[in-house]
Structure 1
Amino acid sequence: MATDDPKTVIVERSGGNGLTAVLVILIVALIAVGAYFLISKETNKNDAISHAAQQVGDAAQQAGDAAQEAAKKQ
C-alpha cells in the first residue's frame, strides 16, 4: 500500500570559495602580459631594422656626395 507521507529533500549547494574566479583572472592577466611582451619585442625588432636601414641610407648618401665631389675635382 502506498503512503501519502510527504518526503523532504534537502539540496545543499556549495557556492565555492571564489577560487575559480581568481584563477580565471590570473590566467587572463598572464595572457595580457605575454601579449604585451610579444608586441614589445616585435616593435623593438622593427625599430632596430629601421635604424639599420637609416644608417645604410646615410652611408649611401655620403658615398654619393663623395663621388660628386671627386667628379667636380677632375
Structure 2
Amino acid sequence: MTLMTLMTLMTLMTLMTLMTLMTLMTLKARIIVRFRGLKKSRIAISILDFLSTLKQTIISTFLSHYFL
C-alpha cells in the first residue's frame, strides 16, 4: 500500500468521523426543535441549516481536493 493510499484512507476516516459528529449534532438540534418553544425552535432550525451547509462544504472540498 502506497503512502498516498494510506493518506487518502486516513482522510476518509477523518471525514467519516466528522460526518458522524455532525449527524449527532443535527439529531440534538432536532430534539431541541421538538421540545422547546417557538422562539428557541427557530434558533435550532438555524443551527440545522448551518450544519447542513457546513457538511456539504466539507464533502465538496474533500472531493475536489482528492478526486478532481
Q: TM-score, normalised by structure 1?
A: 0.47
The structure with more radius of gyration: 1
**Structure 2: 5+ residue stretches without partners:** 38-68
Q: Structure 1 residue 31 and structure 2 residue 3: aligned?
A: yes
The structure carrying a bigger helix percent of its residues is: 2
Q: Matched residue pairs, number? A: 38
Deviation, 1:44, is 0.1
Identity of aligned residues (%): 0
The answer for the alignment partner of 1:7 in structure 2 is: none
Partners of 1:59 and 1:33 lie apart in 2 by 39
Larger RCO: 1 or 2 (CA < 8 Å, sep 6+): 2
Structure 1 residue ranges, 4+ long, deviating more than 2 angstroms after superposition: none
Letter aligned with residue 12 of structure 2: S
**Structure 1: 5+ residue stretches without partners:** 1-28, 66-74
The answer for the alignment partner of 2:12 in structure 1 is: 40
| 1:1-74 aligned within 5 A | 30-65=2-37
